[in-house]
Amino acid sequence: MEIGPGIGNLTQELARAARKVIAVEKDREMIKVLERTTKDFKNIKIIQGDILKINPGEYNLESKKYKIIANLPYYITSPAIRKFLESERHPEEMTLMVQKEVAQRIVAKPPNMSLLAVSVQFYARPEIITFISKKSFWPQPKVDSAIIRIKNIHKNKRISRGKFFKIVKAGFSQPRKQIINNFIRGLKIDRKKAEQWLSKNSINPERRAETLEIGDWLTLLKTFPSY
């Protein structure tokens, strides 16, 4: 599945390598161009629609049986990634071109974690393939880009995703604040219980959320129900 194929240059190359390409384009006028540039390919299916509203099941896309290719505009980067990572019919992997700064946030490690980094790394392993200068494009954008690959996408059905992200969002609610204060405010627990909870997981209450690893968040989730 290609998101935002534009005039179809990449779409044609994908069609030469893949058994089938589903190209999702929102712009109706661009669809007309795409239909002309890909008319010689029988394995391209063009869909006019909003990728954030597309259901993979409608196109017989099964979990781990397809890949996502996209050049994502900034404003849909996070929701598009989240949509497919959380989908019951999630892709095998995703190869995306995004803004350089966003790519760096996605692959970040402690002490530079962010809510976005945790949200992606909870489900998969992201990596930056290469950086692309803004000078490579016309018209030239204001920022550089990066190509990232998100792979090893998985679902742990034994983990409550809702509770996990409730804890994570509380921890990152004010990134510059100590994590204990964020938990007290965001999870509505008193200081003594918050201190006991963090101590049980060997986490200093004065740490900030950006310093915690995925494993830290998982242990916090595991011990949270007792409070």
Q: What is the pLDDT of residue 227?
A: 46
Q: Which CATH class is domain 161-226?
A: mainly alpha
- Digit-by-digit pLDDT tens for the chain (227 residues) are 999 999 999 999 999 999 999 999 999 999 999 999 999 999 999 999 999 999 998 999 999 999 999 999 899 999 999 999 999 999 999 999 999 999 999 999 999 999 999 999 999 999 999 999 999 988 899 999 999 999 999 987 788 999 999 999 999 999 889 999 999 999 999 999 999 999 999 999 999 999 999 999 999 999 985 54
Q: What is the pLDDT of residue 156?
A: 77
Same fold, 2-151 and 161-226: no
User: Where does residue 4 fall: left (phi above 0), alpha (psi -120 to 50 degrees), or beta otherwise?
Assistant: left
Q: Where along the chain do its domains lie?
A: 2-151, 161-226
DSSP codes, 71-110? E--HHHHHHHHHHHHHSTT--SEEEEEEEHHHHHHHT--T
Architecture of domain 2-151: 3-Layer(aba) Sandwich (3.40)
DSSP codes, 6-38? TTSHHHHHHHHHSS-EEEEE--HHHHHHHHHHT
Q: What is the pLDDT of residue 201?
A: 95
Residue 2: strand, helix, or coil: strand
Output the CA torsion 106→123→72→102 (10° steps): -10
Residue 176: strand, helix, or coil: coil
Helix 214-223 and helix 161-171, axial crossing angle in degrees, nearest 10 = 110
Q: What is the pLDDT of residue 225?
A: 59
Q: Which amino acid is at 62?
A: E
Q: What is the pLDDT of residue 158?
A: 83
Q: What is the pLDDT of residue 30?
A: 95
Q: What is the pLDDT of residue 138?
A: 85
